Amino acid sequence: MRIGIIGAGQLGQMLALAGFPLALGFRFLDSSPDAPGARVAPIVTGAFDDLASLRALAAEVDLVTYEFENVPVSALQEMAATRPCFPPVEALRVSQDRVLEKELFGRLGIPTPPFRTVDSRVELEAAVAAIGLPCVLKTRRLGYDGRGQRVLRRRADVAAAWEALGAAPLILEGFVAFDREVSIVGARSTTGETRAYPIVTNTHRAGILRVTVAPTRDARLQRAAEDHLRRVMDHFGYVGVLTLEFFVERGRLVANEMAPRVHNSGHWSIEGAVTSQFENHLRAILGLPLGDTSPVGHSAMVNFIGTMPERGRVLAIPGVHLHDYGKAPRPGRKLGHGTVVARTAAERDAVLRRLLRLIPR
Ligand code: AMP
């Protein structure tokens, strides 16, 4: 059995690594021949919307999945016509547009921040008046890791934000004064079996995930997050791993966004859970029994962003697992991560503090 993965970034690489013990083979499609995945499986080099490249990938594999959201829907449709393709194209389409995503959450009874679509300066003024300050202006599409968004705190910020983002279709959201951010990762298989991981707490800096702490033990929030996840999965007849990100505002979940793929806030599960999100994604798309999502201890994952800490210094900390994606350093780029797994939360926090000392503040 050979699986095609659209995108050969670190998520694709970790998917392939999880598949080798199951005797699965892999091919990637990526525009860059030396993307991280190149170290573990051949890459069909080409643009994600190039028909000849998509067909070349399809010809070599039994099944197709993807590791990032900005795959053109038309490309995936093209693939889905010849090979089983998971997660469903419709989930990808909705996840690519923050307005469609929030409208869906609303229909499914999942709370979101207040929002308005914005296509003109006049609509922006009206949306700011309706939602109030502070608020967040974002591009509807192609935004990730905090790119394509501006927080508006004063009236005077409106003009500059419009200047910066106004060329694209936009969404204005109410600013959520959150207590913390959490996410849930779950898997649904072709058989309809579902499993969810424990919710985790995420800390972002400049819109980029920096630290994930797992698990977050809160039975009420866990139940609510699992309920929201199941609703979204059932809506799409979902297959694969799905992630929902939430703000916790005054003790209640407010949905920020969904990702129809394995997720950075699930990396801890490689060493910190009985079955990793990567293996469960593969099991789900192959219709195999899903693996246990229980944590095996107390974990924390730290992203290495822009620069890699010295390898020897990371490995010198007992209990830390290093993942170096082998990417060229660039500001804001995720180059690797380190995961701590410990027997107790206190032990985990002590090791986490040592790890955090190795990266820029
Ligand atoms: P996003 O690209 O939507 O995931 O946003 C990246 C990060 O920006 C989030 O994880 C939050 O830390 C912050 N953020 C995004 N939207 C809001 C909002 N409506 N209110 C407060 N903070 C936000």
User: Which residue among 246, 256, 265, 303 is best mutated to probe the pocket of ligand 1, counting the most ligand atoms within 8 A of its Cβ?
Assistant: 256
Q: With contact defined as beta carbons under 8 Å apart, do 152 and 174 qualify? A: no
Ligand 1 touching residue 175 (CB < 6 A): yes
| Torsion, Cα of 127, 73, 330, 18 (10° steps) | 120
- Name residue, tokens 């424990």: 198
Q: How far is the CA of 245 from the centre of ligand 1 (A)?
A: 10
Q: What is the per-residue pLDDT across 152-182, written as a single tens digit (0 to 9) for each?
A: 999 999 999 999 998 899 999 999 999 999 9
Mean per-residue pLDDT for 280-290? 98
Ligand 1 touching residue 256 (CB < 6 A): yes
Q: How far is the CA of 75 from the centre of ligand 1 (A)?
A: 29
Q: Reply yes or no: is the peptide bond before residue 215 cis, omega within 30 of 0.
A: yes
Mean per-residue pLDDT for 236-252? 98
Mean per-residue pLDDT for 220-240? 98
Joined tokens for residue 139: 């591009």
Ligand 1 touching residue 300 (CB < 6 A): no
Q: With contact defined as beta carbons under 8 Å apart, do 186 and 195 qualify? A: yes
Whether the pLDDT of residue 217 is over 70: the answer is yes
Ligand 1 touching residue 309 (CB < 6 A): no
Whether the pLDDT of residue 145 is over 70: the answer is no
Q: What is the per-residue pLDDT across 33-60, written as a single tens digit (0 to 9) for each?
A: 999 999 999 999 999 989 899 999 999 9
Whether the pLDDT of residue 144 is over 70: the answer is no
Q: How confident is the model at residue 255 (pLDDT cuts 50, 70, 90)?
A: very high
Classify 102 as helix, strand or coil: helix
Share of the chain above pLDDT 90, in %: 93
How large is the angle between the packed helices 277-286 and 10-19, nearest 10 degrees?
Answer: 70
Instruction: Collect all residues with Cβ–Cβ distance below 8 Å to 5 and sequence separation of at least 6.
Output: 12, 15, 16, 26, 27, 28, 29, 37, 64, 65, 66, 67
Q: What is the per-residue pLDDT across 94-124, written as a single tens digit (0 to 9) for each?
A: 999 999 999 999 999 999 999 999 999 999 9
Ligand 1 touching residue 176 (CB < 6 A): yes
Task: Indicate yes or no: pTM above 0.85.
Answer: yes
Classify 1 as helix, strand or coil: coil
Mean per-residue pLDDT for 287-299? 98
Return the pLDDT at 70. 87
Q: How far is the CA of 222 from the centre of ligand 1 (A)?
A: 21
How large is the angle between the packed helices 157-165 and 121-131, nearest 10 degrees?
Answer: 130
Mean pLDDT computed over every residue of the chain: 96
**Per-residue b/e over 114-132, b at no fewer than 16 CB within 10 Å?**
ebbbbeeeeebeebbeebe
Q: How confident is the model at residue 207 (pLDDT cuts 50, 70, 90)?
A: confident
Ligand 1 touching residue 101 (CB < 6 A): no
Return the pLDDT at 146. 64
